[in-house]
Amino acid sequence: MRPFSYSRAEDVGGAIATVTADRATDYLAGGTTKVDMLRIGTEWSQRLVDIADLPLTQIDDLPGGGLRLGAVARMSDVAMAAAVRERFPMISQALLLGASAQLRNMATMGGNLMQRVRCGYFRDTRSPCNKRDPGSGCAAIPGINRGHAVLGTSEHCVATHPSDLAVALVALDAVVHVQGRGGARAIPIDDFFLLPGDTPQLEHPLEHGELITAIEVPAAPVARRSTYLKVRDRESYEFALASAAVALRVEDGVVADVRIALGGVATKPWRARRAERMLLGAQADRESFERAAREELAAAVAQSMNGYKIELAQRTMVRALEETR
């Protein structure tokens, strides 16, 4: 690991000023991803500014039943918060399934959204990777791509987004609050994650030095009946092959409200809007669920080794809908 300097931020403004002033300076929160990146050489920072002690750990109620989650709130604290478990169980479930207990006790909400892809070629500095070295090529496309994406891909990148939490937040139309030298702004979470397109190295619309301060989850009565289902090769310490965050309200056997997002199969947390449109007003039965799932995955593009993910994603969505119903 290359040497770097380290300092602790005492306030939000000071942290932003320090990082903004130097492109080789970056934030450090829980460190569960950042330190890995530094160790294997996929990222380098000349200086790290520790933000773990900033007063951004709140889990606050919002009018109407929403929540405001501080960016450095620990994943474990948010997962076990009564308000989260009661109003947004899919968030709690996604957090509990997203990491081991040890990692959840260190990892932060903002850091989870900023984690890098788990593609082996991205992490192997000897392999070409357009995220790490734009223009070098994507080794996964002709290579071992069993775990890669089938939705939102481009000829430049097929890596899946790794976050479980982000899938639930995308289903719930969360808003990411950030602050930088230009002031504060709010970014709808679906816009916070960028498709690779021709610029796979750009994963978020953040300027250097902008700091996530909070995540706002708007009130959503439908979310009280919600599920996060994760399918993986093994039950522990593993990322999703496919996952689904589902909230569902059924009245007289008909879908009155529905939210669906998919993980493990796309280059960003994937809002299943086609499926949602098909299900609204439809019978809440397996036939309707399967038809909506097929429609959502109709645009999927498989690589040489991951065609199974198309059917797996459909089955995962259907199962999550049935369990939520």
Contact partners, residue 77, CB within 8 Å, separation at least 6: 57, 59
Give yes or no for a contact between 297 and 188, defined as CB atoms under 8 angstroms apart. Answer: no
Question: What is the residue type of 70?
Answer: G
pLDDT one digit per residue (tens) for the chain, 325 residues = 678 899 999 999 999 999 999 999 999 998 888 888 888 888 888 999 999 999 999 999 999 999 999 999 999 999 999 999 999 999 999 999 998 888 899 999 999 999 999 899 999 999 999 999 999 999 999 999 999 999 999 999 999 999 999 999 999 999 999 999 999 999 999 999 999 999 999 999 999 999 999 999 999 999 999 999 999 998 877 899 999 999 999 999 999 999 999 999 999 999 999 999 999 999 999 999 999 999 999 999 999 999 999 999 999 999 999 999 9
Whole-number Å distance between alpha carbons of 220 and 239: 27
Question: What is the residue type of 131?
Answer: K
What is the distance in angstroms between the CA of the first residue and the CA of the last residue of the chain?
50
> What is the rounded radius of gyration, in angstroms, for the C-alpha atoms of the chain?
19
Structure tokens at 313: 């994603």
Whole-number Å distance between alpha carbons of 269 and 253: 29
Domains annotated on the chain, with CATH: 5-52 (3.30.43.10), 226-324 (3.30.390.50)
Give yes or no for a contact between 109 and 72, defined as CB atoms under 8 angstroms apart. Answer: yes
Q: Which residue has the tokens 């829980």?
A: 30
Whole-number Å distance between alpha carbons of 168 and 301: 23
Q: Give the global pTM.
A: 0.96
